[in-house]
């Protein structure tokens, strides 16, 4: 009989331990399981790279500060990490949630999480049609349904259910496009605005979102964090096209956001009382970003009005970031990376407040607390 080499035994033990992590450990309650990310371009990690769409960020200088890609564009609409990336890192997830449409979103890679977010996507299916293709929240949840079946195959139905319901977090960052690229969109939406009041449009949004969150609950989601809509009237694009001064914001856009945000908070309170075993955490993105914009010097920024990467007007706020854009040298000093999206420096501040902050910005618990429930 051939002798067994010591290193062979080590290899066998290592393989058994690795298998045990994915099959047994994945069903335990220790640590965060997967991070499932839904939303729009604020958290898109590359899904739109795989769509025939006018909304894409897989061109330089996007991603110039994203270390994982060596500064190459990945489809993230910022210079570095998104809020979703930073939250995942801080909660100990070993790798970024893989974009659902990416070829490598199969097998064990999905155990760390999947990103379904899509630039231009919204709560309403009509939102973002100006971009031709995008993934609305309904489609994103359809895709999660496919992922849910994959988990059953990977872990077995019982362990998969525990892993998803007890150890995984579902984050939803959506709603801004429903105003910017739907209700408020010039020309294309004028008919909708004549036929539908802001109250009626927001009613539709809330009713759609209620159904969408309930669908996720029915697929075993239990730990939710839902971001409200930020101060969209203060982004460089809105300031530029409305020819505002540095310290001004578009009143109508912000009023619509605040009106929706009030309804969203009521919805999450309703669902917390109605869907047994679930917790819906409210992320007050509006006040958090408004604090950065209003008191930007306090956080080390030199401007909260001008895009670091963009072209057109006083705030470089008309043409999206691309190879021909003007690019600032002090990227960490800008609240906004491009006409629409925060810089990585701003994302870090926002993410840390969501992770560790008080109920002023995240309630009833922060994300560190949520992950430990």
Do residues 303 and 334 touch, judged by C-beta distance below 8 A? yes
Nearest Cα neighbor of 230 from 269, 186, 180 is 180
For residue 198, list its beta bridge partners: none
Question: How many contiguous H segments (helices) and E segments (strands) does the chain have?
Answer: 12, 9
Judge contact between 164 and 33, C-beta under 8 A: yes
Beta bridge partners of 359: none
Of the residues 178, 341, 343, 371, only one is catalytic, namely 341
328-363 per-residue burial string, b: 16 or more CB within 10 A, e: under 16: beebbebbbbbbbbbbbbbbbbbbbbbbebeeebbe
Distance CA 132, CA 258 (A): 28
CA distance 28 to 162: 8
* Residue indicated by tokens 């605005």: 193
3-state secondary structure 75-123: CCCCCCCCHHHHHHHHCCCCCCCEECCCCCCCHHHHHHEEECCCCCCCC
Planar angle of CA 84, 104, 344, nearest 5 degrees: 25
334 is catalytic: no
41 tagged catalytic:
yes
Angle at 345 between CA 344 and CA 350, to 5 degrees: 90
196, containing H or E segment = none
Question: Catalytic residue among 44, 338, 343, 371, which?
Answer: 338
Run of H or E residues at 223? strand 223-227
* Dihedral sign (CA 72, 75, 77, 81): negative
- Closest by CA position to 225, among listed 80, 329, 121, 365: 365
Round to whole Å and give the CA distance between 352 and 291.
14
Task: For residue 72, give Cα distances in angstroms to 40, 61, 82, 336, 352.
Answer: 21, 8, 15, 19, 25
Could you identify the residue written with the tokens 């310290």? 247
Catalytic residue among 35, 41, 118, 371: 41
Which residues are annotated as catalytic?
Answer: 41, 338, 341
């Amino acid at each position: 009989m051939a002798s067994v080499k010591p290193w062979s035994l080590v290899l066998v033990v290592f393989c058994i331990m690795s298998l045990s992590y994915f099959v047994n450990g994945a069903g335990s309650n220790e640590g965060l399981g997967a991070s499932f990310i839904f939303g729009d371009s604020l958290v898109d990690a590359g899904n739109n790279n795989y769509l025939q769409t006018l909304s894409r960020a897989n061109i330089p200088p996007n991603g110039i500060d994203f270390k994982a890609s060596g500064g190459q564009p990945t489809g993230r609409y910022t210079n570095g990490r998104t809020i979703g990336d930073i939250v995942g890192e801080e909660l100990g997830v070993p790798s970024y949630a893989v974009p659902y449409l990416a070829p490598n979103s199969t097998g064990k890679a999905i155990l760390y999480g999947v990103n379904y977010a899509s630039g231009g996507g919204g709560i309403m299916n009509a939102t973002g049609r100006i971009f031709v293709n995008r993934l609305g929240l309904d489609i994103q949840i359809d895709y999660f349904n496919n992922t849910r079946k994959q988990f059953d195959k990977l872990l077995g139905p019982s362990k998969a259910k525990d892993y998803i319901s007890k150890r995984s977090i579902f984050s939803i960052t959506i709603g801004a496009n429903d105003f910017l690229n739907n209700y408020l969109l010039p020309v294309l939406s004028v008919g909708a605005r004549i036929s539908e009041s802001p109250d009626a449009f927001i009613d539709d949004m809330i009713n759609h979102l209620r159904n969408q969150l309930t669908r996720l609950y029915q697929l075993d989601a239990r730990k939710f964090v839902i971001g409200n809509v930020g101060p969209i009237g203060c982004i460089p694009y809105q300031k530029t096209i409305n020819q505002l001064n540095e310290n001004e914001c578009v009143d109508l856009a912000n009023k619509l956001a605040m009106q929706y945000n009030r309804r969203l908070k009521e919805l999450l309170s309703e669902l917390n009382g109605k869907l047994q075993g679930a917790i819906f955490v409210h992320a007050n993105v509006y006040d958090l970003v408004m604090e950065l914009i209003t008191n930007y010097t306090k956080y080390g920024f030199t401007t909260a009005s001008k895009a670091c990467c963009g072209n057109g007007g006083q705030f470089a706020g008309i043409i999206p970031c691309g190879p021909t854009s003007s690019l600032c040298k002090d990227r960490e000093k800008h609240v906004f990376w491009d006409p629409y999206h925060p810089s990585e420096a701003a994302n870090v501040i926002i993410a840390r407040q969501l992770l560790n902050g008080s109920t002023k910005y995240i309630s009833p618990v922060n994300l560190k607390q949520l992950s430990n429930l």
